[in-house]
Structure 1
Amino acid sequence: MWKKRKWQSYLYIMPAVLIVLVFFITSTIFTIITSFTDWDGISQMNFIGLDNYVQMFQDPYFIQSMLNTLIWVLAALILPVMLPLILAIMLQKSRFGTIFKNIFYLPNTIAPTIGALIIMSLLSTYGIPKLLGMMGFESLDTYWLNIPYVNTFVMIIAGVWQGIGTNLILFIVGLNNIPPDPIEAAKIDGASGFSLYKNVVFPLLKPTLVIVLLMSIINSFKVFDSIWMMTKGGPYRTSETLAVTMYKETFVNGNYGYGSAVAVVLSLIVLVISWFYLKRTFKGEME
């Protein structure tokens, strides 16, 4: 009877296991195999060894894409973490905390493509640039998303605006779950202001910080929707990230082998960074 119940329990997780096997593991293996071929999605696959990987690191567009991705990652370590943390501290005990939480979380409920369309409308020649031009800043009266490298920072700010709500809620929940006793003890010992948060609150908030940082890093590596909607990686492919390069090479240029190689490199980077980050973060707890 016990063995029968044991096998029945496995049946509940079988659909999820099958989905992972079919849609994740098999597709991962197929992508890795394809990365060693010159497949164009139609003709027969031809094994070419490491040619795609050699070409990748000699491709100036890939190098630019890698640099842009690193800019997104560095920005993800600052803006989407520091700003929600400061706001969470300010709103934790505010009388109007619920109202502001809803306001900040509202952009998060919008699909990335819709958010990108909103930003494009605001930055059009009849939007914010036009308003700044009328105020005397004629040099700013232009379509910012057409300016190489400037558009990357504009899209990063747009991404922070749309994704700030989730991190804000996580930080507020983390702050509310901190036990009051250590904070009260620190206040009795004379701790206050920034020293109280640095020495007591932030260490107790570490689990939430780990989650928020890891989510921000991973999301910055795979950002695609907003970039594709706003610039499609242009002009002259100067605003591409690895995710955009992977999509463009695979589905636009028809270089499935090369695009798969980019996907493999992107996945490896995310896995390695996540592994080292989690290992370093929880090193003290593992020992």
Structure 2
Amino acid sequence: MAQREQYVSKKKNLQKWIPYFYILPAAILVTVFFIASAVFTLGLSFTEWNGLSEIKFVGLANYFQLFKDGYFVQSMINTLIWVFAALIIPVLIPLFLAIIISKSRWGTIFKNLFYLPNAVSPTIGALIMTSLLSNYGLPKLLELAGMAQNNSYWLGIPYVNTFVMIGASVWQGIGTNLILLIVGLNNIPAEPIEAAQIDGASGLKLYRNVVLPLLKPTLIIVILMALINSFKTFDSIWLMTGGGPYRTSETLAVTMYKETFINGAYGYGSAVATVLSLIVLFISIFYLRRTFKEEQ
């Protein structure tokens, strides 16, 4: 009898650990490919290394050099422009479209139409936009229509090309935010809206005071995704301009790649990666803490 009770006790203890075995592979992958690589990158940022020679410890020299580097400062400014644009364009436009489409009888058609560019990979999307914005694409059509004076290559104009690429990025990424916001609108209970309408609320007042507060959980996800994606934007910029001309359209992600794998400065590139990661982490934590504090 005692042996049976001991067996049952061991079996129950084993069953408690079974759920952890299911998440063990994911935990190992996260530890090896995320946490370990992040720690390695942080350690490498305090060194000078070209990938072949002996690693040399230089302390904070790479971080001091960052803010003396004009290219890094320019990439920081460009990154902030992407972030500011991500807080406005990819959120407000899908929100406006979601409000219209959710009430339209042709909603399914419009959802598929706007989501279609998102089904294309970022690489293919960047190549399509590069061809469209070439000298023989949209600029040429505008010139033939008399709406432009010179047949210029928009992606080759310093500083202007950043805003052109932001527009291209919005074209491809607007579908995901649109679908999320439509789902959020459809999940809003009808009772608060009907009660507000009975009290006389309508139009902009109804959406500002009733609909948008109820849509807040979805808006939190959409804004946070837009923020993170704007910081890590790389593939479209690299394919459309390569960070040029004269490195004027680089963001921190492009600078990190170029310094590490093109210039062979692994320590300096790791410092850029660390700064980028810390900025994203700080903004995400600050945004989430402030959001959840407002809901309490």
> Is TM (by shorter chain) over 0.5?
yes
- Name the counterpart of 1:149: 159
Matched, 1:36 2:14: no
Among all aligned residue pairs of Structure 1 and Structure 2, give the percentage whose two residues are the same amino acid. 70
Deviations 1:65-123 (A, max 9, x none): 00000000000000000000000000002111000100000000111110011001111
- Name the counterpart of 1:66: 76
Deviations 1:103-158 (A, max 9, x none): 00000011111001100111111111111111223434211000001100000000
The aligned length equals 286
- Name the counterpart of 1:194: 204
Matched, 1:12 2:22: yes
Partners of 1:88 and 1:8 in 2: CA distance? 43
- Name the counterpart of 2:248: 238
Q: Give the secondary-structure state (helix, strand or coil) at the position aligned to 2:47.
A: coil
- Name the counterpart of 2:139: 129
Larger of the two Rg values belongs to structure: 2
Alpha-carbon shift at residue 2 of structure 1 (Å):
1.3
Name the aligned partner's letter for residue 290 of structure 2.
R
- Name the counterpart of 1:2: 12
Partners of 1:230 and 1:279 in 2: CA distance? 36
- Name the counterpart of 1:99: 109
Alpha-carbon shift at residue 42 of structure 1 (Å):
1.2
Q: How does 1:124-273 map to 2 (within 5 A)?
A: 124-273=134-283
Name the aligned partner's letter for residue 172 of structure 2.
Q
Matched, 1:276 2:255: no
Partners of 1:260 and 1:197 in 2: CA distance? 45
Deviations 1:26-83 (A, max 9, x none): 1001000100000111111100000000000100000000000000000000000000
Q: Alignment RMSD, CA only?
A: 0.8
Q: TM-score, normalised by structure 1?
A: 0.98
Partners of 1:136 and 1:110 in 2: CA distance? 32
- Name the counterpart of 2:6: none
Partners of 2:106 and 2:250 in 1: CA distance? 40
Partners of 2:169 and 2:146 in 1: CA distance? 28
Name the aligned partner's letter for residue 42 of structure 1.
L
1:57–1:63 CA contact under 8 A, matched in 2: yes
Partners of 1:93 and 1:138 in 2: CA distance? 38
Deviations 1:185-234 (A, max 9, x none): 00000000000000000000000010000000000000000000000000
- Structure 1 segments of 4 or more deviating over 3 A? none
Name the aligned partner's letter for residue 74 of structure 1.
F
Name the aligned partner's letter for residue 285 of structure 2.
W
Partners of 1:233 and 1:284 in 2: CA distance? 39
> Which ranges in structure 1 are unaligned for 5 or more consecutive residues?
none
Q: Give the secondary-structure state (helix, strand or coil) at the position aligned to 1:282.
A: helix
Partners of 1:83 and 1:273 in 2: CA distance? 23
- Name the counterpart of 2:58: 48
Q: Give the secondary-structure state (helix, strand or coil) at the position aligned to 1:136.
A: coil
Q: TM-score, normalised by structure 2?
A: 0.95
1:69–1:221 CA contact under 8 A, matched in 2: yes
Q: 1:179 to 1:61 in 2, by over 3 A?
A: same
Q: Give the secondary-structure state (helix, strand or coil) at the position aligned to 1:191.
A: coil
Q: Give the secondary-structure state (helix, strand or coil) at the position aligned to 2:288.
A: helix
Name the aligned partner's letter for residue 165 of structure 1.
G
